[in-house]
Structure 1
């Protein structure tokens, strides 16, 4: 299929050598241009995929590029798997993985999300308190609890990481911040952890401090493309230019008018001054100014908005123009407002939405998005509740409504009802008035519900008696959770046959709650409730852990591949809407003005980060305000609506002055200027992005039990890590580290002391991160097995080719991924070894799964690198036994059929089947569920 490009797009596609800046206005076909540029490089210029690096703003954007490239490329011999493609963070992780032995990390490291980073710092507060300047640092700041102090430290640790601030400079002004950040960095390394902010800093340190690594990467990466360059920060710019080296084949794409992530350290300076990084006249600048997304009315409104500010040199001049007939008499920008009454405003919005649906102007509510500065604003939450009560569903995952959802209140109510004596003590706490009201209402709610659910009533009664009379300590909170979700009141959420995100919001929220419980068990070091720890653990869970999370707010589930779920109106922040487009966009927050609020608690620390801004400091808030709303306005494909509760008196004039001039000229939605009969709205296409599939996490898991796959992979309900699983991780990670040392130093140079140090360092890190302790005899047994393996398997180790080889393969059905424990090479033939830490299984089904795993990895390696595969080896380290699995062409054909069949079933959402077996399933988390419901 030939893709038509306009002149500017064609020039951008064919400009490969040297630096290139592409200014891409809204709806200008940027993604199409990037896709065609990559295909041109691969097919026309015959550039090797491994020589190309592409970074995007989101993982979804990266998957969209890969999907579209794979569909467009004609030359099927081109290996798309060798492209470096992803967000800057994921590219940095790929670099870290390739040179991990130079970072102090080892395979299996974890990345802390925002909440777990807070908890990690909170758990380590004792260590920060030991720093001499601790008291002085927090003096005068109203941070009364360790939790609030942890959140405060998290903010500044992230700033130091993301902005790559010199610690020497910080020390001169605040020695505690310097020492605490260094302590934090050491703690991360000891625990084999990264946080989101430190990923880039670790990658930058790796390439700055290892000239051999940088040289290798420059030899490999010859062409760089960076999307959304206006939202990059200084550390990202540094990484890009280091990798770009002297050849300067760096293409950056973006729109300075949409630079809206300054609060994350991004600077529009990077895109505005990009050409100045090269000799004058060397950097080519191409402007994509034809808007294919929106009609003239919306485009002209956006232009009038952005041009209403005097930008001086802080904006590239550009003339955006729509494609199509300018003379169509149809209003495409209108207002939908009332005067002074919130109830009338909500009712008017509801009636307008209902009219669109009843008149079939929209097919689905997901064609509409309501964008505002904050979805946590009380007015936005009230509007969402109002519409949902009227039967219009809302998708607003960041509204802080998680703890108010029925299923979560019911869950918490059940926990409170089975521990009545502990609940009484929670209610006695005089400092917890807000949370007490929440707990009380949740407890009363489940008492009312139990009148309608006999099974629930009897289960709570039985559990109460158990914990009061004969509790012996056999279970943790997660174990209780698995029982609770087996009950009828919760089961209905998990048996839904449709897999739409909105229809399954309750099930996704159950998954999030399971993570809360798992995190609690690790953080509190209480995996099993006992008679000794029960009261203390539960009081801590309710009075501290849940309270902190509720106060801090938790986001609900966001579907990464389907950002616009069906059957619901999206309530998003303008920042969330970046990169999206909607047929109808309603813009709120018209009461806002470009004035920031200074945080007094942070005032002194902000001075440490003060740097010379490219833009005048007194204009920054104004610039950011105009860019933000320009981004919001330009999301609209067919109809843009400005909405507010007008107020012309009092302290707050609405709409505020920045909007008023344009707003006053707009016709009302009911004025007749908007001709509904002529209003043609685009539909939201289903996502066609390629999904990623692994053997153990997807194919084999689904094959063993489709229902368990749905609960663990789709709804993301957490699993418990057994002692056996932790032991397996310990053995695997130790052997991996030793294999890397053998590749570096040679087998003859590995001594027992090396093995001992590596083994126990990994164990202590695992113990800290999982709260699982292995007994001395188990630890000794594992260490002896590894020593025996190194002594007895010299033949294998002398032919070692690679370890922990990560392989990705783009196929029509999806992206296949796998990590191969070991590859050995002998006489130019390759064998794959997969290590197992348990016994050789007597269970034929389990053993068949192991064999299929080896065949799957052989398929990946053969297809990815065209290696001749001799055999697969299942190595059972416990008794040094090898099971040889010959690999033939027939095996590769059969395993291809096998995984494609399963992936097809996953895509078709065939998850209802429960492969229940009383013996095989006895250790499964959902044993109670299937026992009760089989």
Structure 2
């Protein structure tokens, strides 16, 4: 019998409802993730479903990691050992990208495509804005916009129409000149990303849709593979996601969607509540099982009653709307009745001014801590409509000034952090010509607030370096500044390289010395410096800057600060968020309501009570929707703002476990009329009917997320230098001294083309002419992505290595089983991952081949290097045997650069040797998990080529 644990009857029904369409309506705190996990285990244990036949789409990568971790732990507890990592679990975007990668030859994309994030996409349009401005009638769609605002608006429309699968051809057929102009915008954008081999977040999904809808063989293979689909947070899916789900499900229709229509928050990203509300109607009458989960295990009864009432209170004294058919009627029931006489829903407000409000909040938090009611500040969360508002940052600054740390990574405070202002100021001081322009106000693109910020950075830097203890840093800055001012040739570094040179001086040494086991606030400066290297490194990449030269130093410096950083400052940058600890120890959390979705906290303050429902759609977009979207409008436009407003605060209120506090101050003119009635009815924290003494507050639940480790990307780096691992892997500093790997990548990719051709049964196409074509296509995509080239002799040598490999096979390709194979295995507390170049063999025995694009080394002189490769092959062999059950008989290193002799070094499979390597791998992983990063590299060569060689002088 299947062990359902503590599942209630509704959860049991959801767990066992395996075949056909299923809609699980899961209210807040009703055990949604638990049910999904148990349902997956039930499919594997009771129904004999293979992990690779299960497809689970989640809303965030963190949710995907949590599900993988919980499924793994549950299976292990039941003594069931399957490779859960074979399941397709991830966000829609990551899953679509995986499908694209596995079938890239059927898409417009070539290898080495670049994925644009939100800022990258806007910056791409901005860099080509003159092309868009030349489109006839564009000013009537986007009137009076600055170039950057125009880029933002263009991306908004492009993304929305792309995900609604609106046809550019259809837009061109319209008689409206504005719609034709929009078609020109769409067409130009499509041309840009196609030419540059780019993909953005919206086109990930459109490319995947086109791939599976236009290639029947690919779709059939995927439908055969994915027998069961589960879609989490279905209320926040959009049109194209729905289309992909139904295509993949095919005739089986084994689609289980889970969500809560009351928590649909992402309309601004194209999500539509209709997907979950109309899901049952996609099937024959009675075919779809609808299972409501309504028992709340999270919150105190008062809190549940409060947000139930909120959803039903739509007929206030000054407003009125009706849910009608746009909500599933439901009432959430608390699992336990409250034993408190004190109310668990209260308000905290000030009658005087903001200072009094700050003080009341501080005193309340202090009372919680001093009386032992909470043992950690992370038991408290504040939820806002936006954490960027001056009123919110003022409260955060007040609490921090009183010794209460605030975790608010999305408050866009990155550029106001002292370490960032100091670093940017020092960087500017090393370019005297630029500083002179700032002082004289010569830069027309800068607004007064930009001048103020950059001057403040310079003042901060000057004040720091003039202190006696910083005279060495001052000397370094002056020397660099003089060198840059009189530069006549080139340097051997660019801006990012300068940052790494600064790391030999304080305060940078002290920041980098911070132990990784420190709290999130202590480690934040190091993480922010790492993020700054990523930002400046991206600038250098986009503008192809490798060194500073006399010819372009002033232009590039001005563009770095006055354009690139200015745009980032205006747009704001989120700081580091730790997926494994959403409520860092020792900190009060300041979160947006959207950010808090899926989270829970013992004590929740909900602010932003001055908010009112606002229109969220554009009239022009509504016109496009009416004409060209594939479905008519769903919710009445005039009521959308009310629906979204109520859902937003329902989500906020339902985050609280033990105590919900609505808070506002008189200066913020709160609460608005929409909250007034519910606000007036709840008691104040100062009223006699509220007593903290009655409460026992939960601790924040732990999140046990499994990290992934590979031999090449993790173990090799750690064993080479654990400090490098700390900086590059843990803190995510951007390496800038990487030698170009284009030669080896080019050889590997073209050999992969040969293998893919053979696997498809098209051996006759493996000809020198075709190989040369594949090689050239790979080269073109590589130079676009890497911004570097091979000289003619190198390029010819690379092609010759590939041709020689193909010739040596004598057209015997039948033993190839798989090429470029991603293999992974879930361990009790981490996941091993690897990528095998080639698996070949016959029957149940296989051999592994790893290609090296170099000459075969001397076996004696390079013994340690070859031993390192042998250990890598051991890990691959272990993964293959555990994953497939196939016996590995041999492992090979194939040196494509070997011209005359035997190009291979072969190793026999020895079980004891493999087990020894796996044991060593495990020990190293646990050193990493324990944050043991104190061992420097032993090789001088390693140190010479390391960005942190300046820092390590003082380590």
Instruction: Specify the alignment match of 1:577 in structure 2.
Output: 596
2:178 is equivalent to residue 158 of structure 1: no
Aligned partner (choices 467, 474, 495) of residue 457 of structure 1: 474
- CA 1:914 to 1:401, structure 2 compared with 1: closer, same or farther past 3 Å? same
Q: Secondary structure at the match of 2:80?
A: coil
Maintained 8 Å contact 2:136/2:181: no
- Give the Cα–Cα distance (whole angstroms) in 2 for the partners of residues 844 and 492 of structure 1: 39
- CA 1:291 to 1:125, structure 2 compared with 1: closer, same or farther past 3 Å? same
Deviations 1:756-783 (A, max 9, x none): 3332333233323332233222222222
Q: Which moved more, 1:302-311 or 1:717-726?
A: 717-726
- Give the Cα–Cα distance (whole angstroms) in 1 for the partners of residues 872 and 396 of structure 2: 47
Deviations 1:763-820 (A, max 9, x none): 2333233322332222222222222222223367453221111112111131122221
Matches within 5 A, 1:719-798: 719-720=735-736, 722-744=738-760, 746-794=762-810, 797-798=813-814
Q: Secondary structure at the match of 1:873?
A: strand
Maintained 8 Å contact 1:142/1:601: no
Aligned partner (choices 47, 54, 57) of residue 55 of structure 1: 57
Maintained 8 Å contact 2:112/2:782: no
Maintained 8 Å contact 2:433/2:485: no
Maintained 8 Å contact 1:813/1:900: no
Maintained 8 Å contact 1:106/1:733: no
Instruction: Specify the alignment match of 1:138 in structure 2.
Output: 139
Deviations 1:887-919 (A, max 9, x none): 221122012101110110111011122225333
Maintained 8 Å contact 2:763/2:811: no
Q: Secondary structure at the match of 1:674?
A: coil
Q: Secondary structure at the match of 2:186?
A: helix
2:392 is equivalent to residue 380 of structure 1: yes
Instruction: Specify the alignment match of 1:670 in structure 2.
Output: 686
- CA 1:694 to 1:280, structure 2 compared with 1: closer, same or farther past 3 Å? same
- CA 1:474 to 1:788, structure 2 compared with 1: closer, same or farther past 3 Å? same
Q: What is the count of residue pairs matched by the alignment?
A: 926
Aligned partner (choices 301, 304, 309) of residue 304 of structure 1: 309
2:356 is equivalent to residue 344 of structure 1: yes
Q: Secondary structure at the match of 2:846?
A: strand
2:503 is equivalent to residue 485 of structure 1: yes
Q: Secondary structure at the match of 2:760?
A: helix
- CA 1:658 to 1:240, structure 2 compared with 1: closer, same or farther past 3 Å? same
Aligned partner (choices 608, 615, 619) of residue 589 of structure 1: 608
- Give the Cα–Cα distance (whole angstroms) in 2 for the partners of residues 795 and 852 of structure 1: 31
Deviations 1:409-461 (A, max 9, x none): 11111111111122212442244132222111111111111114233222212
Q: CA deviation at 1:215?
A: 1.4
Deviations 1:218-274 (A, max 9, x none): 222222211111111111111111112222221111111111111111111111111
- Give the Cα–Cα distance (whole angstroms) in 2 for the partners of residues 156 and 887 of structure 1: 56
Aligned partner (choices 717, 732, 744) of residue 701 of structure 1: 717
Deviations 1:566-599 (A, max 9, x none): 2111111111011000111100110011122666
Aligned partner (choices 318, 328, 337) of residue 325 of structure 1: 337
- CA 1:180 to 1:769, structure 2 compared with 1: closer, same or farther past 3 Å? farther
2:114 is equivalent to residue 110 of structure 1: yes
Aligned partner (choices 855, 861, 877) of residue 880 of structure 2: 861
- Give the Cα–Cα distance (whole angstroms) in 2 for the partners of residues 615 and 142 of structure 1: 28
Q: Secondary structure at the match of 2:941?
A: coil
- CA 1:791 to 1:146, structure 2 compared with 1: closer, same or farther past 3 Å? farther
Aligned partner (choices 891, 913, 917) of residue 935 of structure 2: 913
Deviations 1:285-329 (A, max 9, x none): 111111110011000000110111232221111121112234531
Q: TM-score, normalised by structure 1?
A: 0.95
Q: CA deviation at 1:716?
A: 0.7
Q: Secondary structure at the match of 2:66?
A: helix
- CA 1:144 to 1:315, structure 2 compared with 1: closer, same or farther past 3 Å? closer
Maintained 8 Å contact 2:346/2:660: yes
- CA 1:563 to 1:164, structure 2 compared with 1: closer, same or farther past 3 Å? farther
Instruction: Specify the alignment match of 1:30 in structure 2.
Output: 32
Instruction: Specify the alignment match of 2:826 in structure 1.
Output: 810
2:907 is equivalent to residue 885 of structure 1: yes
- CA 1:307 to 1:772, structure 2 compared with 1: closer, same or farther past 3 Å? same
Matches within 5 A, 1:361-760: 361-426=373-438, 427-432=441-446, 433-450=448-465, 451=467, 452-469=469-486, 472-497=490-515, 498-596=517-615, 612-646=632-666, 653-720=669-736, 722-744=738-760, 746-760=762-776
- CA 1:600 to 1:412, structure 2 compared with 1: closer, same or farther past 3 Å? farther
2:251 is equivalent to residue 234 of structure 1: no
Q: CA deviation at 1:107?
A: 4.5
- Give the Cα–Cα distance (whole angstroms) in 2 for the partners of residues 435 and 736 of structure 1: 50
- Give the Cα–Cα distance (whole angstroms) in 1 for the partners of residues 183 and 286 of structure 2: 42
2:308 is equivalent to residue 288 of structure 1: no
Over the aligned positions, Cα root-mean-square deviation in angstroms equals 2.3
Q: CA deviation at 1:502?
A: 2.8
Maintained 8 Å contact 2:66/2:703: no
Q: Which moved more, 1:744-753 or 1:479-488?
A: 744-753
Aligned partner (choices 825, 831, 835) of residue 847 of structure 2: 831
Q: Secondary structure at the match of 2:931?
A: coil
Maintained 8 Å contact 1:24/1:287: yes
- Give the Cα–Cα distance (whole angstroms) in 2 for the partners of residues 882 and 933 of structure 1: 44
Gaps of 5+ in 2: 315-321
Q: Secondary structure at the match of 1:151?
A: helix
Q: Which moved more, 1:338-347 or 1:743-752?
A: 743-752
Maintained 8 Å contact 2:263/2:648: yes
Q: TM-score, normalised by structure 2?
A: 0.93
- Give the Cα–Cα distance (whole angstroms) in 2 for the partners of residues 492 and 863 of structure 1: 45
- CA 1:562 to 1:445, structure 2 compared with 1: closer, same or farther past 3 Å? same
Q: CA deviation at 1:110?
A: 3.4
Q: Which moved more, 1:262-271 or 1:107-116?
A: 107-116
Q: Which moved more, 1:665-674 or 1:137-146?
A: 137-146
Q: Which moved more, 1:584-593 or 1:420-429?
A: 420-429
Matches within 5 A, 1:349-364: 349-364=361-376
Q: CA deviation at 1:623?
A: 0.6
Q: Secondary structure at the match of 1:23?
A: strand
- CA 1:224 to 1:719, structure 2 compared with 1: closer, same or farther past 3 Å? same
- CA 1:826 to 1:191, structure 2 compared with 1: closer, same or farther past 3 Å? farther
Deviations 1:851-902 (A, max 9, x none): 2222211111111111211222222222253221222211220121011101
Aligned partner (choices 264, 269, 292) of residue 259 of structure 1: 264
- Give the Cα–Cα distance (whole angstroms) in 2 for the partners of residues 263 and 536 of structure 1: 38
